[in-house]
């Protein structure tokens, strides 16, 4: 017998989940670090280079708070973890871990980028707008694939294991 009858599309999705988990994970770390830098600047501590301090000060002036960044980072962390866990679920065609955690991961990923656009000031986002559009496309694509194209694969696999 062949090893698996998993459709190639599911394997591709699991690879893409890994790719986006790394991407959002990196951004999450960046958000955490920036939030601590912002806190230091807000508390008047003088650290780092001048241009960096001025940049952080301008973010504060535009209304960005360290809390905003920490909430975004938290959502990013959740998205990263969900996407990473769902890789295993997609490969195993687990309805709960693959389909539903993948869906939640997609929602968290979309929420992360939408809130980024909504909360972060223009100076922070400048130049990365279309890459964010690209990042928003993926969760929508993922949810469509999990609930329309591969829905029956997950349900059948669940039926067999159940």
Partner 1 sequence: MSNSSEVTTGEAIRISGLSHHFGEKQALKDIDWVLPQKGIVGLVGPNGAGKTTLFSLIAGFLTLQKGTISVLGESSPVASALMGRVGVMPQDAIFARDISIFDQLLFLLKLDGYQGEVAEQRVREVMQRVGLETELFRGAAVLSHGMGKRLGVAQAILANPEIVLLDEPTAGLDPANARQIRHLMRELAETSLVIVSSHNLLELQDLIDSVGVIVGGELISSGTVEEVTRRARRFEIHLDAKVEVELVVELKQLSHINEVEFSDQQLTVSLNADQEDGLNGALSQLYRFLIEKGLPPHEVREGASLEQAYLKLTGEDQSS
Partner 2 sequence: MIQFRHVLLHAQKLIIHSLRTGSGVAFIFLTILIGLSLANLSITPVELGFTTAEEFRESASKAIGFALATASLRMGGENENGPPDTDILSRMESGDLIDLGMWARYLILDNPMLLSITVLLLGVVLPLILPLGSFTAISSDVQHRTVRYLLPRTSRLSLLVGRWLGTLFLSWVLILLLLFSVVVYLSIMLPPEATESMVPWAGRCLFSLCCLATPYVSLGILCSAVFRVPMVALLAAVGATVGTPLLALSLQEAWDPLGNLLYLLPWGYSHELLSPNGDKVFTAVAYSLGHSLLFMTLAAWRFRRADL
Q: Terminal CA-to-CA distance of the chain, rounded, Å?
A: 22
For residue 80, count other CB atoms closer than 10 A to its CB: 24
- Nearest approach, Cβ of residue 131 and partner 2 (Å): 6
Q: Which distant-in-sequence residues (6+ apart) come within 8 Å of 114 by Cβ?
A: 136
Q: Is 16 exposed, middle or buried (0-12, 13-18, 19+ CB in 10 A)?
A: middle
130 binds, among partner 2, partner 1, none (CB under 5 to 8 A by kind): partner 2
Q: Which residue's CB is nearer to partner 2, number 70 or number 124?
A: 124
Q: Is 8 exposed, middle or buried (0-12, 13-18, 19+ CB in 10 A)?
A: exposed
Report the residue from 52, 57, 134, 151 that binds partner 2 according to the rule CB under 8 A: 134
- Nearest approach, Cβ of residue 108 and partner 1 (Å): 28
Task: Single out the segment in contact with partner 1 by CB under 8 A; choices: 6-14, 62-70, 120-128, 130-138.
Answer: 6-14
Helices 66-92 and 8-42: angle between axes, nearest 10 degrees: 160
Q: Which residue's CB is nearer to partner 2, number 47 or number 126?
A: 126
In 3D space, the residue among 108, 109, 94 whose CA is nearest the CA of residue 146 turns out to be: 94
Indicate the SS3 state at residue 128.
coil
Q: Scan residues 95-154 and list those touching partner 1 (CB under 8 A).
A: 152-153
Position 7 contacts partner 1 (CB under 8 A): yes
48 binds, among partner 1, partner 2, none (CB under 5 to 8 A by kind): none
Q: Which residue's CB is nearer to partner 2, number 20 or number 112?
A: 20
12 binds, among partner 1, partner 2, none (CB under 5 to 8 A by kind): partner 2
| Positions in the binding site for partner 1 (CB under 8 A) | 1-2, 4-9, 152-153, 156
């Amino acid at each position: 017998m062949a090893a698996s009858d998993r459709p190639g599309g599911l394997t591709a999705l699991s690879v893409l989940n890994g790719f986006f988990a790394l991407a959002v994970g990196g951004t999450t770390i960046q958000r955490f670090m920036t939030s601590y830098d912002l806190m230091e600047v807000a508390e008047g501590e003088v650290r780092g280079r001048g241009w960096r301090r001025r940049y952080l000060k301008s973010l504060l002036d535009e209304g960005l708070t360290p809390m905003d960044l920490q909430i975004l980072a938290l959502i990013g962390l959740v998205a990263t973890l969900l996407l990473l866990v769902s890789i295993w679920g997609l490969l195993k065609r687990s309805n709960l871990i693959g389909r539903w955690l993948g869906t939640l991961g997609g929602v968290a990923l979309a929420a992360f980028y939408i809130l980024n656009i909504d909360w972060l000031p223009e100076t922070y986002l400048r130049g990365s707008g279309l890459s964010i559009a690209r990042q928003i496309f993926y969760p929508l694509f993922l949810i469509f694939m999990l609930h329309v194209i591969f829905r029956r694969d997950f349900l059948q696999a669940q039926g067999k294991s159940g």
